[in-house]
Every structure is written in C-alpha cells, then in structure tokens.
Structure 1
Amino acid sequence: MQADPGVLVAVLAQLTGDASVVDEFAPAISHVPDPPERAGVTDPNTMATLVSRIVEALDTPRSGGLAADDSELFARLLPAALGSDVDDEFVPLLLEQGGFQLSQPTLPRDVPIPAETTVAIIGAGIAGIVAALAATDAGVSFEIFDRNDEVGGTWLTTKYPGIGVDTPSAYYSLSREVNPDWTNYYPQGAEYQAYLVSLADKYRLREHTRFNTEVEALWWDEDRQEWQIHAVDHDGNRSVSRSRVVITAAGYLNRPRWPEVPGRETFAGVSVHSAQWDPSLDLTGKRVAIIGAGCTAVQIVDACVDQVAHLTVFQRQPHWVAPRKRLSDDVPEYRRYLGRRLPYYANWHRVKSYWATADNNYPVILRDPEWSETHLSISPANDVLLQMCTEYINQMFGEGTELAKKVTPDFAPYGKRIIRDPGGYYAALTRDHVDVEASEPAEVNAMGIVTQDGRQIDLDVIVYATGYHLDFLSTMDIRGRGGRTLREEWGDSPRAYRGGTVPGFPNLFITSAPNYSPGHGAGANFSMEVLAHYIVECLQLMALRGATTIEVTQEAYDDYVADIDEAMSRTVWCHTPNAHTYYRSGSGRVVVATPYRLVDVWQQHRAPIEEHFLLGKAGSDAASR
C-alpha cells in the first residue's frame, strides 16, 4: 500500500490497454511534493482496489488492446502519473526517456548504411557505451578505444570516499536499460560502475574494445576519406588504425587540476587529489585538510567527518547547497521489489524523475532583467531556490553567525553548479573538530598549511578536491582537412554545431560537445542519448545520398553558435560574473551548459538538416561540394 497510486494507475492502464482506468481512479488521487518527484496519494479503499485490479491484470493474459508504448494512451496517462498537465511537445520525448520505446528513426531506412562506414569510438564510459549501442542498433561496425582496462570511465577510475551522482538514480541510466533495483536514490560510485559493467556484459562490448590503449591523435586522410587513429598501449607500443567515422566519447573533465599553491610539493605528509584517490588511504585519527568546496569536497567531508581527528575545509568560494529532503537516501525495499517485479513501474518512476528535474526547472536559469536589478537572485523562480538554500543555512548555522556568512554565496543560485547535501555536509561543518577557512591556503610547507592570515595548521593529509582542467579534446592531436588542428579552430572558446560537428573535420562527432551539457536539470545521459540518435541519422543521410563524408557548413556552424550565445546571454551564467565556474572557458564564454530547454535540444537532433551539410563522395573535390 506504499506504492505511488498515480504510477499504479498508469501501470494498470498499460497492463490492460484500457485508458478508462484514468477516469475511474485519477479523481481520487492527489499529488504532494516528494523529491525528486511529486508523489501520488489516495485513500486506502482506492489503493486496495487499484492493487486488486493490478493483481488481476497480471494473472490475466492480455489479448489485443493498446501497446504499452502507444503514444495516445501514454499522453492520457501522464497527468495521472506525474500530477501535472503535460504539453503535447513533451510526449514523444517522455515516451523515449521513460524507456517505453527505443529512439525512433526519423529518416527513411530503405537504404542500409554501407559496411564501409566503420566507426571508431574514443572512450568506454557511459558516452561510449551509448554510442556503441546506437551503432549496434544501426548495424554499423564499430571499435571502442579506452586507456583503462575496463569500461566505466570516470566511475572506474575515481574512488574517493562518498563518490556518487547528484542526479536521481531512477533517471541517471540508459533509457533502454532502466535499472529497477538501485539501492540509493542517488547512485553511489561503485553501484553505478557495476551498472555500466553489466551493460558491457549484456551487449558483449568488450569484444569490440581495445583496452589499455590511449588515442593520442586523430588525423584526417583526404585521399582515403577516413580517419587515422594514432594510439599507444600501456607497453608503449604505437599503432595506427583507420575508420570512416570517429565518435569521441572521452568527456571534458579528465585531467586533475592541482592548485598553484606555493610549497605544495614540500608537504611531508600525504597529498592526494580526489580524482586519483588511493583506496588504501586510511583517514582514521588523522589531521586532514580538504581544499575545495564543490560537489566532490562535499561528498568527501560527509563521508569522512566521523573518522578524522580534525578536519579543515579550505573554501575559495562557497556554493549554494540544497538540503536533502528525505530522512534517508536508501531506496525502500518495497519500491525495489515493485521495480523488479511489476512491469512498467520502474519506467514510470524514471519518467517522474526526469519530469521533476528537467524543463520544469528551466525558469530557474533565465534572467528577469527587472527583478535582477534589485535582487541577488535573477528571477522569482531563481529566488525560490535562493530562499530555500538560505533557510537551510540559517537552520544549520544560525542566521547571521560567522559560519553562516562563510558558507553564503554572493551570486545567484546556478551561477555555479548547485550542490545537493548528501545528508551530513552542513552538519559536519558545525562539529567541534571541523574548521572552515573562507579562503585558499597561502602556502604549503612540510608540516601543513599556512592560512592567508599567517596561521600554521599542522596536518597529516591534504586532500585536493580542486576539480579538473576543462579539456574539450585539447589533449589529443586532431587534424582535419589540410592539417588544420582542432586547437587552432577552437582557440580558448570551443564551439560545435549539432551532433558536435565542426567545419573542416568531416565524419567527426563529439558526444561531450561544447554547450551540450544540461545545466538546469536531467543528466549528462540525456545529451549522450540525444547525440547518439543524431549521429546515426547523419550516417543514414550519408547512405541515402551515397556519400562517404558529411561535414557541417561554415555558415550553419556560425549561425548555430551565434544562436547559442544569444540564448546564453539571458541565462544565469552570463549574469553572475563573480561566480568561479568551470562552465566558462579562458575567453569567458560559457562553453559547457546548453542554454536551451531539453525538449528543444531533443527536437533539434531528430534528424540532420541536409542543407546545413556538405555531403562528399569518394574521389570528389572537397571544394566543389
């Protein structure tokens, strides 16, 4: 009787193919906030009847009726399950993101993609896995290159205490592989890595993967109209492979960034970066400093505060921290049981998690010029979040206290990536054995850290939770037509057209592309799936036209980037210049987040606009296309 009745109504309708159950049950169901989605509630009699009808439906073989992914039925079910009206433009997106159907082809499939259209995928993390599965669906031959010895990317290599995802676990997965059995509402690192490994097992991806092989360079071969892939294995052996198409899935946060603190190398204790954590490191009884106040630092503090003898948090700039709104992040057993045993139940919770954390949140990042003139927040919607976070600060530290002042940002929420308290971060900062320094260290010496005001803090361990360099493929030597490098094209302001395409670099698709990360909600898995669909559509367009190359035009590229910048100018990231964020490149341009609604990103990538591309055939003159 603890299940969400709105979800049960949707399940019943899909089990029976009978949409009339919405009219029968929905009026008795109300919806109340229950993060990360609105939970349905009803009276015991209605719930008992619902359960009885579902048990009956499970025992009765279904004949005829509507398919579970019928769009008209699905559209009728959405308000009952989600607790809000849903505009028609969202229906096909939610049908796909709920895992009720695979991404649907857009272009005609009457011409197969030629066998010569081979694909090299650089990276075996979640983006590489998504790309590989899309290639498999399209019948395209592919090979994955990864520098590690197993799939997983970040989730394989990063092991710091408390590591997890701040996107709801019900959503942060592949839509085609909804995991019904997460143990935590926000997946923890080891469990998420196990999920990715299970995908590699199920789809036999290792058979298509070169592990322990790092790609150093990608060079376009104009004569053969394919990419040369220059790689080196862990034994130092170099090789050159070839592929018609390359999909980069390496992400843009790979190289740990160490701060330029004088004397950092002189420390006699243990220095460790969060991205290179030593699992054998025991913090028990140690005097520890953590440099950083972002998501990683928050998770480490939450995880280790009870172990250490003393903890000092060095915070260059505070983040807005949202409170955990459940007593526990442990997923209750009844929900896991229903996810495993009741058809469509986990899918509907995935839809609810997406809906609650995606475009419903979009107004939070949009600036209201009149409002922002007189407020720290940029809009009334943004102010709701500011007030919630401020109330949390006052509740935990006391309004106006010195500690409250230290952790209160001076910019609008979302100016930097919002952080979710895993449950014990703010509480940890109030502990007697924890200090907060509202500044970076002045210097490091053999004994520990010297503060900006000259105090010596003796330490056993210094943890650098200082993030990563922003690398949009900048560590790889990528040369397109005429030997022009991607570094030359981008300078300090990476840009891309749809599908992560760049003029002068034919048949190259970048999944972790500039301005494709959802900045206001959902998760990176969304953009990965959207771009994978689009890439296959581009390969299909090549097949339909008998082309061997596809390359975005300079005009389409310039216009698209200009549209992004114009839309970005209305967002929080362009109106919080005092917020230090990795979203901006060295030029100051916002290059990570997308300024668009996610449904708009999805619609933009249903199929390529043919006139925006140059389609070349083997032996043709590139300049004539």
Structure 2
Amino acid sequence: MDSNQPIHHERHIRIICIGAGVSGLLFAYKLQRSFSNFSLVIYEKNPEIAGTWFENRYPGCACDVPSHNYTWSFEPKPDWSASYASSKEIFDYFDTFSRKYGLRHYCRVLHQVVGAKWNAQGGYNVRVRDLQSGKEWNDSCDILINAGGILNSWRWPAIPGLDRYKGTLVHTANWDDSISLEGKHVGLIGNGSSGIQVLPAVLPEVKKVTTFIREPTWVSPVKGLEQHIFTEEEKKAFASNPGHLTEYRRGIESGMNGQFAIFLRNTEGQRSTREYMTQQMREKLSNAELDKVLIPEWSVGCRRITPGVGYLESLSHEKVKVVYGNITEASENGCICDDGNEYAVDILICATGFDTSFRPRFPIIGPGGNNLQDAWKDEPHSYFGIAAAGIPNYLTFLGPNSPVGNGPVLSAIEAQADYMMKLIDRYQTTNIHSFAPKHEAVTDFIQFKDAFMRRTVWADGCRSWYKSTDPNGPVTGLWPGSTLHYIEAMNEVRFDDWEVKYNGNRFAWLGNGYSQTEIDETADWAYYIRDHDDGQFHSRNKRLRIVNKSGTRRPEKTAFTVFPRI
C-alpha cells in the first residue's frame, strides 16, 4: 500500500474465476459494475458459456423453476415462451446477459484449470490447460474464485458390465444430438430430475420405453404453476408494463419463499403437503401397483422435490414398462435386473446425474501444503458455503451448505456474489495480504448446522445428494434455514469470523492524510451538511424493514403459495 496515496486507495487486483456458467457471469457483472483497477479472467472448459445450460441438451431438458423467476432479480425477461422454459431458451437468456454487459471479453473458453497453489507473495499460481492445443502454463492471481458449480461432472451409473452393452449408450448430461429415437425401444435409467423430464419428451417418437426405477421419489405439482404457453398478448403486456411483470415475479417468488415449513419435521406444512402430494401422485399414476413402489415412505423434501410435467401419467402409458428394483449387471442387449430378467433395448439412456461431492476437481494447495481435495474428500466443511479454513483468498459459489434446495437458488447466488464484492472491496482498499475463515468459526458453524438439520426432513433416512456419505450421514448440501434466512445472514461480512493478515502495518491504508473526497475537485467537500437526517439507520432490523417494505403486504397466502406455512 503506497503511503503517498490518500485513504482507501484502490490498488490493482488480479482475479481468476473458474467457470463461465451462471455464477461466473454474475461475478463478472458485479465486479465490472462496482470496481475499477482490476483484471479478471474467467477460464471455462466448455466451448461456450452458461455452464449446465450449455451442457444439458437432452430431450425435455428444462428448468423446474418458473421461467420469469429463473432470472437475476435485476434483469427480467418479458418474452419467455412458457411458464417452464427449455434449456435452450435459458441458455439464450444468459448468453444475452453476457453480451448486453460485455462479459464475454473476460472469458477464455476451452481452457481448464487443473491446479492452484498458494505462493509466497500472497495469491495463487494457477495451472491452466488449453483444451484445443493441450498446452499448459501458469497464470497467477491475488484472489481465486471457483464458480465451477456442483452439477458439472456427470458420471455413468455403477452397473457391472456396462461396457459390454452393444446398443447405443448415452448420458443425459452428454447428449448426442445425432441420435434418432424414432421407432426404437429405449431404456431409461433413473427417476431424478433428468429422467422425469426425458420420459414424457421421448414418448411420442419411440416404439417403447422400459424405465428402470430403483427407489421411489416425490413428484410434485409443478412448483404451484402448471405449464402454460404465453400468448403474444401476454408477452406484450409484460414488456409494455414493467410494473405488471414485477408484481407477477414477486408473487411467484413469495410463493416459493413461503414453502420452507415443509422441510421442518412435524409441521402442519409438512403434513398437509404430504397428503396433497400423495393424492396428486395417486390421481396421475392411476395404478395401485405403481402407487406402492413409487410413493415414498420418507418425508416430502428429504430428497429434492422434483416437479414433473406429464411424467406420472406417462408411467401408465401403453408404450411404457416400469421395472422396479436394481440393475445387477448390463448385458450385450440391455439390462439384467434383480428379478432375474434381461430387458433388451436399442438405446440405453442414463439419467443418473453427477458427481455431487464438493471435493474440488483439481488440487487447491494452501500455504501449509494442505490440499482442499483432502480436507473435503469425505465430509466438506465450509464457511457459509463460500470459503474454506486454511485456504486464503479463495471463494466459491454454491459450496457445501449453500441453499441449493431451500428456495429460489438464483437469489442465493446473488447474495454470495454481493458478499464476495464486500470482501474484495476491503482487500483492494486496505493493505490486506490474505483472508480466510477461522477454523473455529467453521467448526462452530458446522456444529450449529448439524444440530439444526436434526429438526428437518433432510435428515430422514433417504438416499440424497444432499448428504455426502450415506442416507443417514450429515447434510452437506443445504443451508440450515430458508433462502431468505440465508440472504439476511449474508447481508454483511462478519470479520470477526475471518483470519486477516496484512502487508506491513495494518493501518498503512490510512495513507498520506488526505481523503478520497479532497482529491476529487468535482466532489462536494461538505456533502454531510443537510437540511434533514436522511442517513442510514443503524439498527439492523430497521434497515431490513425498509428494504423488505415491511407493512406493505397483508399477512395472507399469495395466489402462488401452494404449501401452507407452519
């Protein structure tokens, strides 16, 4: 920090971000909007941006959040085609966002980060691979951001002999657009989010589908809104009246934010939701035998609640055969199941998901030679889902115990980005050398989280990627509270939870005695003289009541709230 500069001089900072998906693009936007004197490069392994919305192109791929709310809070889109948009349309939204704000010039596509190591100067040496040439080199940064996401490493199912299968084998997350399903007998493995979307999408063109299901799952009404194709008049109304669109979006968001009670044990919300969803599933299945095997015994919400447009009805279609149980091995012709039968198929679609562990895909080495891959191998411990003890100047989006299933996820990503901006601002305008959450802060957070989770349905004995070890293991994939709870928790940086080290004297940032105001001849040097007190309130709750417009809404369910409160 230059002592000849005024207070809070903005030193140059270099930032590397891993991943140009949804989170990485938001990070670039926020940094560009608020900061100067920085350099940013985003390394993206794919040939395009938008992450999961570029990678996932399987039949029926769509978002299970209403499309008008699968946007940034500040960047609405009035012309969505339907209530639930396809992956292509969602990709187009984020592509348009990147071009509108000039974010692509930060991105280096087909470049993969393969390692990062803390250096003595304070920062990271980052190993980068050019996926076209195969060459590798070292880059460096002061701050390393991991926006790689959690649904970016797909995997084949662990079925013995899968490589023996002679037919066409494809994974939903690595879809081959050249495959024709016309008139084919298709096998579909999995009844998670992807499998639920694939089945009704392929049914019209295939000859037959054999769907392999090993366990039940709750398939919900579609987040409270049935699929709806917007008319040109409706789109025009949204575009010409922004207030109308904003109120529509707020209504849906309020409904999604009003569902947290269903995740708490022994609440009226959980009980009534279970009754409602059981009734809905039975009506749509219309098959008593399927009811027995597909409606779970465990609580609604223990696994991710999966909306399904036409899925349950498809299971009873004449073209569909449901095989319930485990696949013991693959054969040249198809799958052999624990009922002893071989089921031959022409094409085998694996809708079997991702490696959802939070263990980094590459070594991240801290100052003491500690590798985050080792620390997070079994049970990852993060600070509020964004940082790790012992790994300074490293921040991650949607890390362990982020609110990925607690409510609206894009709102949570915005909260994480805003928090990162506050840390970066403190780093740039002081002489901080490094910052990392304290070990004791992380330990206390994990203890609180584990105690809280015992009150939730997430701790039920179901198999879920919310848990890092086994069906009865600790919940590592979710925040201990609602999304609104997380937004309030992340509103300000608790620096007492952070270990901060400085270059030299910790007050070197005070500089030469001059303020930033005095070096700006265009500024008002008496800006604090006013005719009334319009300053910020100093009480946290009073500030919040201003922001959340307390008193402007009647305490009743909105039209979009499907699930009751406590």
TM-score range, shorter chain: 0.7 to 0.9
Tell me which residue corresponds to 1:395. Answer: 283
Deviation at 1:112?
5.4
Note closer, same or farther for the CA distance 1:255–1:117 as it changes in structure 2 (3 Å cut): same
Tell me which residue corresponds to 1:365. Answer: 263
Q: TM-score, normalised by structure 1?
A: 0.76
SS at match of 2:13: coil
SS at match of 2:259: helix
Indicate yes or no: 2:350 matched with 1:454: no
Contact 1:499 1:534 (C-alpha < 8 Å) held by counterparts: no
Indicate yes or no: 2:98 matched with 1:200: yes
CA distance in 1, matches of 2:114, 2:151: 17
CA distance in 2, matches of 1:111, 1:346: 44
Note closer, same or farther for the CA distance 1:245–1:451 as it changes in structure 2 (3 Å cut): same
CA distance in 1, matches of 2:331, 2:444: 52
CA distance in 2, matches of 1:228, 1:326: 48
Contact 2:357 2:468 (C-alpha < 8 Å) held by counterparts: no
Tell me which residue corresponds to 2:20. Answer: 124
Deviation at 1:393?
2.4
Question: Can you list the C-alpha shifts for 1:53-87, whole angstroms capped at 9, x where unaligned?
Answer: xxxxxxxxxxxxxxxxxxxxxxxxxxxxxxxxxxx
Aligned runs of 1:555-570 on 2, under 5 Å? 555-570=440-455
Question: Can you list the C-alpha shifts for 1:485-537, whole angstroms capped at 9, x where unaligned?
Answer: 102322311121136121211110011211113323212x1221101000111
**1:229 maps to amino acid:** V
**2:456 maps to amino acid:** T
1:280 aligned residue (157, 160, 178): 178
CA distance in 2, matches of 1:113, 1:190: 44
CA distance in 2, matches of 1:464, 1:451: 15
Question: Can you list the C-alpha shifts for 1:377-420, whole angstroms capped at 9, x where unaligned?
Answer: xx321122211221122212347x11221221121110111111
Tell me which residue corresponds to 1:164. Answer: 62
2:498 aligned residue (613, 617, 620): 613
Aligned runs of 1:491-506 on 2, under 5 Å? 491-498=377-384, 500-506=386-392
CA distance in 2, matches of 1:584, 1:337: 44
Question: Can you list the C-alpha shifts for 1:524-577, whole angstroms capped at 9, x where unaligned?
Answer: x12211010001111222345431322211222211222222222211111x21
Contact 2:403 2:482 (C-alpha < 8 Å) held by counterparts: no
Tell me which residue corresponds to 1:103. Answer: none
Moved more, 212-221 or 512-521: 512-521
Tell me which residue corresponds to 2:299. Answer: 412
Note closer, same or farther for the CA distance 1:133–1:499 as it changes in structure 2 (3 Å cut): farther
Unaligned runs of 5+ in 1: 1-109, 369-378
**2:252 maps to amino acid:** S
Question: Can you list the C-alpha shifts for 1:15-44, whole angstroms capped at 9, x where unaligned?
Answer: xxxxxxxxxxxxxxxxxxxxxxxxxxxxxx
Note closer, same or farther for the CA distance 1:311–1:499 as it changes in structure 2 (3 Å cut): closer
Tell me which residue corresponds to 1:584. Answer: 467
Tell me which residue corresponds to 1:21. Answer: none
Note closer, same or farther for the CA distance 1:112–1:249 as it changes in structure 2 (3 Å cut): farther
Deviation at 1:255?
1.7
Deviation at 1:458?
1.6
Note closer, same or farther for the CA distance 1:545–1:195 as it changes in structure 2 (3 Å cut): same
2:329 aligned residue (420, 423, 443): 443
**1:357 maps to amino acid:** M
Deviation at 1:141?
2.9
Question: Can you list the C-alpha shifts for 1:186-231, whole angstroms capped at 9, x where unaligned?
Answer: 221000000111011111112111111000111111x211111111
Unaligned runs of 5+ in 2: 1-5, 507-566
**1:380 maps to amino acid:** E
SS at match of 1:503: coil
Note closer, same or farther for the CA distance 1:443–1:483 as it changes in structure 2 (3 Å cut): same
2:123 aligned residue (214, 218, 226): 226
Note closer, same or farther for the CA distance 1:242–1:289 as it changes in structure 2 (3 Å cut): same
1:155 aligned residue (37, 41, 53): 53
Aligned runs of 1:302-381 on 2, under 5 Å? 302-324=200-222, 328-358=227-257, 360-368=258-266, 379-381=267-269
Indicate yes or no: 2:134 matched with 1:236: yes
**1:586 maps to amino acid:** T
Give the helix-richer structure, 1 or 2.
1
**1:381 maps to amino acid:** G
SS at match of 1:518: coil
Tell me which residue corresponds to 1:96. Answer: none
Deviation at 1:240?
0.8
SS at match of 1:548: strand
CA distance in 2, matches of 1:499, 1:597: 14
SS at match of 2:279: helix
Tell me which residue corresponds to 1:64. Answer: none
Note closer, same or farther for the CA distance 1:182–1:155 as it changes in structure 2 (3 Å cut): same
Contact 2:384 2:402 (C-alpha < 8 Å) held by counterparts: no
Moved more, 118-127 or 589-598: 589-598
CA distance in 1, matches of 2:81, 2:464: 32
SS at match of 2:59: coil
Deviation at 1:155?
0.7
Note closer, same or farther for the CA distance 1:445–1:620 as it changes in structure 2 (3 Å cut): farther
CA RMSD, 1 decimal: 1.9
**2:299 maps to amino acid:** A
Tell me which residue corresponds to 2:358. Answer: 472
Runs of 4+ in structure 1 off by over 6 angstroms are: none
Note closer, same or farther for the CA distance 1:362–1:327 as it changes in structure 2 (3 Å cut): closer
CA distance in 2, matches of 1:610, 1:326: 42
**2:496 maps to amino acid:** E
Tell me which residue corresponds to 2:34. Answer: 138
Contact 1:112 1:540 (C-alpha < 8 Å) held by counterparts: no
SS at match of 1:463: strand
Indicate yes or no: 2:415 matched with 1:530: yes
Contact 1:450 1:457 (C-alpha < 8 Å) held by counterparts: yes
CA distance in 1, matches of 2:123, 2:282: 59
SS at match of 1:556: helix
Deviation at 1:146?
0.4
CA distance in 2, matches of 1:550, 1:592: 24
Contact 1:179 1:346 (C-alpha < 8 Å) held by counterparts: no
SS at match of 2:209: strand
CA distance in 1, matches of 2:342, 2:404: 42
SS at match of 2:381: coil
Contact 1:255 1:469 (C-alpha < 8 Å) held by counterparts: yes
Tell me which residue corresponds to 1:83. Answer: none
Note closer, same or farther for the CA distance 1:328–1:488 as it changes in structure 2 (3 Å cut): closer
Note closer, same or farther for the CA distance 1:619–1:231 as it changes in structure 2 (3 Å cut): farther
Contact 2:46 2:109 (C-alpha < 8 Å) held by counterparts: yes
Tell me which residue corresponds to 1:546. Answer: 431
CA distance in 2, matches of 1:347, 1:148: 34
CA distance in 1, matches of 2:8, 2:141: 18
Contact 2:44 2:108 (C-alpha < 8 Å) held by counterparts: yes
Count of aligned positions? 495
Question: Can you list the C-alpha shifts for 1:341-397, whole angstroms capped at 9, x where unaligned?
Answer: 113222222211211102x111100112xxxxxxxxxx3211222112211222123
Tell me which residue corresponds to 1:384. Answer: 272
Question: Can you list the C-alpha shifts for 1:152-203, whole angstroms capped at 9, x where unaligned?
Answer: 1111111100001111111111112111111111221000000111011111
SS at match of 1:246: strand
